Structure 1
Amino acid sequence: MDPTTKPRMEPETLPVVMVHGYLGGSEQWADIEAALGDRFRIIALDLPGFGRSSKRAAPRTIGGFAEQVIADLDARGIERCMLVGHSMGGMIAQEVASRIPHRLERLVLYGTGPLGAMPERFEPLDVSRERLRQDGVAKTARRIAATWLAQGEAHPGFEALSNLGAQADDEAARTALDAMANWDGRGNLARLTMPSLIIWGDKDRSYRWRQVEYLWTHLPSASLAVIPGASHAAHVEKPEVFNLILEDFLAS
């Protein structure tokens, strides 16, 4: 073996790094950690300005968030991993993958797309920004969390999602909307050659089919899993299906 070549590690030995989305946090992955933690080392991050890191100043760009994730990997001594990104976290994951592709064994892009402006979203980002200014973070978190679930506020997981979103810092919630609006990852997709999985709920009101299809057809080594009857928080609505899909890809 060439002494400069690192031996390929089995998937179960690599950490699985989970990156949440807008108004999310590491707590949203608790059930996945409980279900898969006996097989995989799952590391759930809190992005600056959100969740348990709400007191940290948030970057102003998706690239800035990606640099924070890479710095977190470095601080933890993680040389190679499998990366899962949800929603805005999927944008961040794409940026991370474009910057350190040699450190990613696999990439999971869940409920996300290649264009931060999110065409056909349930409301334009400018509207979300204005509603946030008027209503504040807590009320905004409840309103937006309802769109992540096909059953809306009637779903048993709604309160947990909305309460987690309410932890976000006011400034971080505003600047993250700008970061998404100004991000376009389409030019990087051809360089993301690691095995990739796209997971999407067919009732997702944030990322519509055209965004998902673009990822699927432009990533060099992508598979697609569509979860019927689920919206943007498919891991909450259909946890057994979601976990089976994720586990199968990570272990394959």
Structure 2
Amino acid sequence: MATTLLPHRRAGQGLPLVLVHGYLGGSAQWASEIEAFCDRFDVIAPDLPGYGAASDEPGCDRIEDMADRIIELLDGLGIGDFLLMGHSMGGMIAQEIAAKTGNRVTKLILYGTGPLGLMPDRFEPIQLSRERLRTDGVAKTIERIGATWFRQGAAAAGFPLLAQIGAQANQQAALAGLDAMAAWDGRPALTRLTMPTLVVWGHDDQSYRWPQVETLWKTLPNATLSVIPGASHAAHLEKPRLFRATLEDFLIE
């Protein structure tokens, strides 16, 4: 059991809305979403161990352990029921949180993610990412990988923010995150996630291809699919107004 709660951003009041970032992400990536939803929700965005404001912590090499750290944070804050969104690796963590906490998650948003960590159709094999991370370091790795998260690559307007946030991660956590994804398979738990779920996918996502997204959509008992055109893996930065409108429609209905 960790002795300190994860650092996090928090604003607003109402039903808690928890935002979980992904690999080489951080709570800072949700600044616009926090601002957009804090008038209706108590928005909480943690930094995972080893990332962002938690870069001085050792990273976790299991998705389940990352989920436990976020549950520990929510329990420490006195949170009961909550809305939950996870992006990319954070979507895997969100699936684990939903499986562990059950009815406490009243609605679930799985954004740019899938049910399997070792993705056969990823833009590059995880082993190659691991080798290049050891050689290049975190800052160069987020610049290289992060460019694949935008249709316009490193020329995209949102790329500098993403690269700045990702470079804050420590290398041990970055390597541990790859190990965590490679070892994780959430497919057996999908049918137990009965809460209303929105699956959000950028049409040109190179990290999580259609077969992974389709598995979520068709296997989850109560899922709706939203495909964001003209966007890749970082749809919240490429199509921010459409992305937030999509979330709002699901959360408020």
Verify same fold: TM over 0.5: yes
1:6-155 correspondence to structure 2 within 5 Å: 13-155=14-156
How many Å separate the matches in 2 of 1:116 and 1:51? Answer: 22
How many Å separate the matches in 1 of 2:23 and 2:169? Answer: 9
Number of aligned residue pairs: 241
**Residues 105-148 of structure 1, C-alpha deviations (whole Å, 9 max, x = no match):** 00000000000012211101001000001100000011111011
How many Å separate the matches in 1 of 2:77 and 2:235? Answer: 29
How many Å separate the matches in 1 of 2:39 and 2:194? Answer: 29
**Residues 37-81 of structure 1, C-alpha deviations (whole Å, 9 max, x = no match):** 222221111001101111112222000101111101101110110
Gaps of 5+ in 2: 1-12
How many Å separate the matches in 2 of 1:99 and 1:124? Answer: 29
Query: Could you say what the CA RMSD is over the residues aligned between the two structures, in angstroms?
Result: 0.9
After TM superposition, give the deviation of residue 13 of structure 1 in Å. Answer: 2.8
After TM superposition, give the deviation of residue 191 of structure 1 in Å. Answer: 0.2
1:211-250 correspondence to structure 2 within 5 Å: 211-250=212-251
SS in 2 for 1:13: coil
Provide TM-score, normalisation by structure 1. Answer: 0.94
Gaps of 5+ in 1: 1-11
After TM superposition, give the deviation of residue 192 of structure 1 in Å. Answer: 0.2
How many Å separate the matches in 2 of 1:57 and 1:77? Answer: 25
Q: Which residue of 2 aligns with 1:8?
A: none
How many Å separate the matches in 1 of 2:157 and 2:101? Answer: 38
Letter matched to residue 208 of structure 1: R
How many Å separate the matches in 2 of 1:127 and 1:194? Answer: 36
Q: Which residue of 2 aligns with 1:169?
A: 170
**Residues 176-227 of structure 1, C-alpha deviations (whole Å, 9 max, x = no match):** 1000000000000000000000000010000000000000000000000000
How many Å separate the matches in 2 of 1:153 and 1:37? Answer: 30
Letter matched to residue 71 of structure 1: E
Provide TM-score, normalisation by structure 2. Answer: 0.94
Letter matched to residue 135 of structure 1: D
How many Å separate the matches in 2 of 1:92 and 1:145? Answer: 20
How many Å separate the matches in 2 of 1:195 and 1:44? Answer: 21
Q: Which residue of 2 aligns with 1:209?
A: 210
SS in 2 for 1:74: helix
Structure 1 stretches of at least 4 aligned residues deviating more than 6 Å after TM superposition: none
How many Å separate the matches in 2 of 1:148 and 1:231? Answer: 6
**Residues 2-32 of structure 1, C-alpha deviations (whole Å, 9 max, x = no match):** xxxxxxxxxx831100000000000000011
How many Å separate the matches in 2 of 1:211 and 1:88? Answer: 13
Letter matched to residue 96 of structure 1: I
How many Å separate the matches in 1 of 2:31 and 2:215? Answer: 30
After TM superposition, give the deviation of residue 36 of structure 1 in Å. Answer: 2.0
Q: Which residue of 1 aligns with 2:158?
A: 157
SS in 1 for 2:44: strand
SS in 1 for 2:66: helix
SS in 2 for 1:100: helix
Letter matched to residue 143 of structure 2: R
How many Å separate the matches in 1 of 2:149 and 2:225? Answer: 20
